Chains A and B, each alone.
Chain A
Amino acid sequence: GAVVSQHPSWVICKSGTSVKIECRSLDFQATTMFWYRQFPKQSLMLMATSNEGSKATYEQGVEKDKFLINHASLTLSTLTVTSAHPEDSSFYICSATEDGSHEQYFGPGTRLTVT
């Protein structure tokens, strides 16, 4: 149980284009999903908290207009990187949690490379 998937697992895009990453909870309903960014050899940095049916809460320093988050259902959240630039290249990981639980289950991550 508690499986979270991400799609795509990797993506290469050109500078200036937008990329959408999907995060799905496969066997449970996720009232809350989280989006993280991880640079090589570093820990996870929380970008935003996404609650189903409401606006995402962004961490300080994260541009909400650049990283668009939509959590339209209890099993799906999407992160869209708009007008991507090479500095946006990173490993993006989502996690999902059930209502009232502190345990987060992570997706396998998406490697984004912007050329």
Chain B
Amino acid sequence: TQLLEQSPQFLSIQEGENLTVYCNSSSVFSSLQWYRQEPGEGPVLLVTVVTGGEVKKLKRLTFQFGDARKDSSLHITAAQPGDTGLYLCAGARGAQKLVFGQGTRLTINP
């Protein structure tokens, strides 16, 4: 059973377009993290959201945590080829162990 459903799993768009990646669950998380991973490397932490309804911005990336702390979204404005990678959401429940979504493989075409 996948506790965190990420969608879409694959996304290929043109440079300059906007996109949103979703991370949904029926479970409540104490915090949720977004990572970006490039081929052959480990995931790099982008952001942690903790409070329901919280919105965090990182340049062209906007992260939102749902009011009930069960879902999150990542919105990228004016995507660039450098945004290409695997985006992973991960939820924490109590203990430090994280539950990962399936990942969204994003390709930005020049």
Interface centre among A4, A97, A103, A109 (most CB of B within 10 A): A103
Number of A-B contacts (CB under 8 A): 55
Q: How far is the CA of A104 from the CA of B92 in the complex (A)?
A: 10
Question: Is there an interface contact between A43 and B102, defined as CB atoms closer than 8 Å?
Answer: yes
With an 8 Å Cβ cutoff, the count of chain B residues facing the other chain is 22
Chain A residue at minimum C-beta to C-beta distance from B97: A49
Interface residues of A in 76-115 (CB under 8 A from B): 91, 93, 95, 97, 101-109, 111
Question: Is there an interface contact between B96 and A97, defined as CB atoms closer than 8 Å?
Answer: yes
Chain A hits for B42, CB < 8 A: 4, 6, 93, 95, 106-109
Q: In the complex, how many angstroms separate the beta carbon of B22 from the nearest chain A beta carbon?
A: 15
Question: Is there an interface contact between A41 and B96, defined as CB atoms closer than 8 Å?
Answer: no
Q: Which of B12-20, B43-51, B56-64, B75-83 contacts A (4 or more CB under 8 A)?
A: B43-51
Question: Is there an interface contact between B96 and A44, defined as CB atoms closer than 8 Å?
Answer: no
On whether A103 and B33 interact (CB within 8 A), knowing A41-B105, A43-B100, A43-B102, the answer reads yes
Chain A hits for B43, CB < 8 A: 44, 93, 106
On whether A46 and B96 interact (CB within 8 A), knowing A93-B42, A103-B33, A106-B42, the answer reads no
Question: Is there an interface contact between B103 and A102, defined as CB atoms closer than 8 Å?
Answer: no
Interface residues of B in 67-110 (CB under 8 A from A): 88, 90, 92, 96-98, 100-103, 105
Is B31 in contact with chain A by the CB < 8 A criterion?
yes
Q: In the complex, how many angstroms separate the beta carbon of A61 from the nearest chain B beta carbon?
A: 14
Interface centre among A32, A43, A93, A103 (most CB of B within 10 A): A43
- 3 closest cross-chain pairs (CB), A and B: A106-B42, A102-B92, A43-B103
List 30 A-B pairs, Cβ < 8 Å. Answer: A34-B97, A42-B103, A43-B88, A43-B101, A43-B103, A44-B43, A46-B97, A46-B98, A46-B100, A91-B40, A93-B43, A95-B42, A97-B96, A102-B30, A102-B33, A102-B92, A102-B96, A103-B33, A103-B45, A104-B33, A104-B90, A104-B96, A104-B98, A105-B45, A106-B35, A106-B42, A106-B43, A107-B42, A108-B41, A109-B40
